[in-house]
């Protein structure tokens, strides 16, 4: 059960530099709870979303995968959310030398132990990189569909289920199809890719399987009833294991 590589994360969270709504809030609440428990103060030198490419490379930085809704850390610092998060950059420099950090080892271990309800690691740490060390840097190492299942052991108080984007079918825009792919993927339906793609035959087949299983008209078109049933299943999964 691996964590996503940077390349895989770019695919899973595509497209960069586009609004992502509330999808990151659970993950941020979970890491912030650990910071708070350790009395580790998240200061003003904390950075999240930036629409930029990596230095000397063609790919986007994981900081470009956002912006999601704003999150306020326990210290009152408010930021847009994104796949990557730099905490207290003044005291946790990016360096080619030995690791420099003010983060307690036990705290970092607790952050890395955060899991989704589906069992995936949520946060990876830049201090673990083999060559360079990037102690300020945390990044979400699970996919949107896993994050949508919720954080294990945490009440999802601030969570709101994904809103119906309008009917999803063959002719719908890719962003709308993507929302259905993520939701159906979170319900552990397989056989299609999650991410931004147009409608596909495999997605249609999985949609019909879902509709048949839940007594809906199996037409492969996602209307309000199909969406509502999927959200209901998601809430049940989050409750069962959360």
The contact set with Zn ion (CB under 5 A) reads 84, 86, 137
Least Cβ distance, residue 139 to Zn ion (angstroms): 7
Least Cβ distance, residue 225 to Zn ion (angstroms): 42
Smaller CB separation from Zn ion, 84 or 184: 84
Cβ atoms of residues 160 and 35 within 8 Å: no
Least Cβ distance, residue 9 to Zn ion (angstroms): 13
Helix axes 105-112 and 25-37, enclosed angle (nearest 10): 150
70 to 142, 162, 169: CA distances (angstroms):
20, 17, 31
The residue at minimum Cβ distance from Zn ion is: 137
Residue 90, preceding peptide bond in cis (omega within 30° of 0): no
Smaller CB separation from Zn ion, 86 or 146: 86
Cα–Cα distance for residue pair 94/96, rounded to 1 Å: 7
3-state secondary structure of 138: strand
Least Cβ distance, residue 61 to Zn ion (angstroms): 7
């Amino acid at each position: 059960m691996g964590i996503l590589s940077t390349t895989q994360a770019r695919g899973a969270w595509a497209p960069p530099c586009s609004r992502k709504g509330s999808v990151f809030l659970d993950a941020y609440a979970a890491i912030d709870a650990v910071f708070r428990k350790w009395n580790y103060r998240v200061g003003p030198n904390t950075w999240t979303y930036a629409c930029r490419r990596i230095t000397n490379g063609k790919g986007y930085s994981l900081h470009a995968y956002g912006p999601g809704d704003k999150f306020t850390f326990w210290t009152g610092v408010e930021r847009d959310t994104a796949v990557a998060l730099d905490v207290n950059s003044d005291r946790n420099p990016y360096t080619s030398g030995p690791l420099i950090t003010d983060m307690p080892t036990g705290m970092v271990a607790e952050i890395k132990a955060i899991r989704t309800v589906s069992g995936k690691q949520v946060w990876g740490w830049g201090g673990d990189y083999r060559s360079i060390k990037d102690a300020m840097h945390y990044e979400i190492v699970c996919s949107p569909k896993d994050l949508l299942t919720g954080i294990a052991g945490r009440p999802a108080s601030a969570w709101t289920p994904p809103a119906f984007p309008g009917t999803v079918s063959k002719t719908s825009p890719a962003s709308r199809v993507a929302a259905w792919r993520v939701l159906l993927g979170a319900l552990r339906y397989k056989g299609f890719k999650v991410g931004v793609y147009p409608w596909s035959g495999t997605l249609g087949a999985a949609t019909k399987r879902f509709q048949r299983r839940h007594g809906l008209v199996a037409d492969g078109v996602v209307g309000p009833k199909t969406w509502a049933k999927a959200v209901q299943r998601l809430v049940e999964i989050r409750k069962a294991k959360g």
